[in-house]
Amino acid sequence: MTNEINYKIFRDQLIISYHKSFFKAELLNYWVKKFEKWDLIYKVVVGSTASGSLVAAWAIWQTTGGKICWSVISGFASILSIWYTSVKLDKKIKTFRKSEEEINNVKNKFKMLLDDLAARPTSNLQEKYDKKNKYEEEMNAISDAFHSGIFIDQKKGKDLIQKEVDEKFRKWELIE
């Protein structure tokens, strides 16, 4: 009877840990995609306004309205370039990708442990419990590293990802 209770409690704890890791992986993926979109916009705008670019040579920019328009576009590109450099977006993308890969590895470890628990519910519970704790420590270390990033605490993104992850877990009948 004790093994049955311990099994259920442990399984619930493991599902919670798996859920957290899944959420963190999805959140990082969300931010990597957002940052990559801004990175692409930056590269297109700045690249197209470079003095030697084909776009800069278009005849339309020599008209009165074109000169004003080109000045606005070039000014925006200059501001965007300063912002990009100060935010260090390319570095953040690399850091977040690395964190995303690491958190996905931890997420997969939780999933394998959950599958192992389902296949052998009473076998080596203490060993499995120790693994769960180790994986939680790994997950927390990764979380501490990426939570210091810019924009990471925007509520809208977190709420959206939380909803998607909860729906997946309900579909898999891991949570109610």
Q: How many residues does the chain have?
A: 176
- Residues of the domain holding 43: 13-171
- Is 5 among the domain residues? no
| pTM as predicted | 0.76
> Considering the domain boundaries, does residue 176 fall inside one?
no
In a domain, 152, yes or no: yes
| pLDDT, one tens digit for every residue, the chain (176 residues) | 344 557 889 999 999 999 999 999 998 898 889 889 989 988 888 887 776 666 766 777 788 888 888 888 888 888 888 888 887 888 888 888 998 999 999 999 999 999 999 999 878 888 999 999 999 999 998 877 666 554 455 666 788 888 888 888 888 888 77
The verdict on residue 103 lying in a domain is yes
Q: Name 50's Cβ contacts closer than 8 Å, sequence gap at least 6.
A: 56
The number of domains in the chain is 1
60 domain residue, yes or no: yes
DSSP state of 88: T
35 Cβ contact partners less than 8 Å away, ≥ 6 residues apart: 89, 92, 93, 96
Distance (Å, rounded) from C-alpha 14 to C-alpha 35? 31
Within a domain: 7: no
